[in-house]
A = this chain, B = another copy of it.
Amino acid sequence: MTTTMKKSSRVGITEVAKYCGQAPSTVSGVLNKRADCRVSEKTREKIMDAVAKLGYRPNLTARSLVSGKSNTLGMISTAQDIEPTTRIATAFEAEARKNGFMLLITFDPNDPEMEDKQINWLDDRRMDGLFLMPSETGDHLQLKSLMERKFPVVTLDGLGRLDVNCADVSVDYYEGGCMQAEHLLSLGRKRVCVANSVHSCWVVDQRIAGLQDTLLKAGAPKPLYMNLPFEARPIMDGPAGVHDFIRAFMLKNKDKMDAVVGTGDEVAMTVMGIAMNAGIRVPDEIAFAGCDGISFSANPFMPLTTIASPHEAIGQAAFKLLHTQIKRKNTVITPKMQLTFKPELVVRKSTVS
């Protein structure tokens, strides 16, 4: 009899068993350290020996099929190209890895249909839990369907705008806006200009609301809105017209303002740079503040006052919330699983020289 062609080039549990004269189930028991699998020390060694010698590696696909779980977490990330999201994702991954999970990742271009599709695909692959950065719009049908099945899910910045009661991590962006306003007011700045894109999104709306409410409450005038007729990003190296638009706006309106607030650090720094180029003295004539706390806001030459979010803590918390749900099946979602982080004011020379 000739050697039959092996189906897979990798050695499986049966070959290990054959090699050391044991039954596959025994090998399985030893490998998984199953409690009820009592084996003599000698067979143990023989098995571990064979495993090492043959270079056995478990087929996790097969294991998943029977166990129904994959030790894999899904992550759907919008805008993986911006620093806050990247940092959250990195922290999340680090936690997941420490706990033996791998990540099935997809970058969703903020499209509701794509979100649903991706959730399905992830589900088809039997992920054990999902960390979702939900699309700005849409019905989130698949998310809802996951929730009905009590499938472990954590959303980022979802609580305030999704009509789903799921575990969530977010930042109190409204409060962040308030903090910006209070900081500016404390410096005697009341005539605020908001550098925003006309394309609104929840996070930005929250920030602006907090800012404006606080200003008005303090008797300051309603802010002046720049309403950039472009997407907020990319703005540094953005479409040709952006910088011209900003320059013209600043030159025309500089006397109506003593502070500019960006809806993100990049916008704030871009406007600040253009203003400085136009001869405006920062912060003497106009102060600048941003949001997010990206690394570049700390640059030594035009350091930006900003409202920083604790990205690393958010990513870690997201994993923990997910892990909890995975460990105890059918967890009921309680308010304790909906975390709101406080942002932090970082004062730099763009407001205080």
Contacts and interface: CB of A to CB of B under 8 A. Distances in A.
Interface of A: 8-9, 57-62, 64-65, 68, 70, 72, 80-81, 86-87, 89-90, 93-94, 97, 102-107, 120-126, 149, 234, 236-237, 243, 266, 269-270, 272-274, 276-277, 295-296, 298-302
B61 A120 contact: no
A142 to B, nearest CB: 11
A121 B243 CA distance: 48
A270 B243 contact: no
Given A59-B124, A277-B300, A104 B103 contact: yes
Nearest to A124: B60
A105 to B, nearest CB: 5
24 contacts: A8-B68, A59-B126, A60-B126, A61-B61, A61-B65, A65-B65, A72-B125, A80-B90, A81-B86, A81-B87, A81-B90, A102-B104, A102-B105, A102-B121, A103-B105, A104-B105, A234-B295, A236-B299, A243-B300, A266-B295, A269-B299, A276-B301, A277-B301, A302-B302
A273 B299 contact: yes
B61 A123 contact: no
Contacts of A295: 234, 236-237, 266
A59 B9 CA distance: 24
A125 B61 contact: yes
A273 B298 contact: no
A113 to B, nearest CB: 13
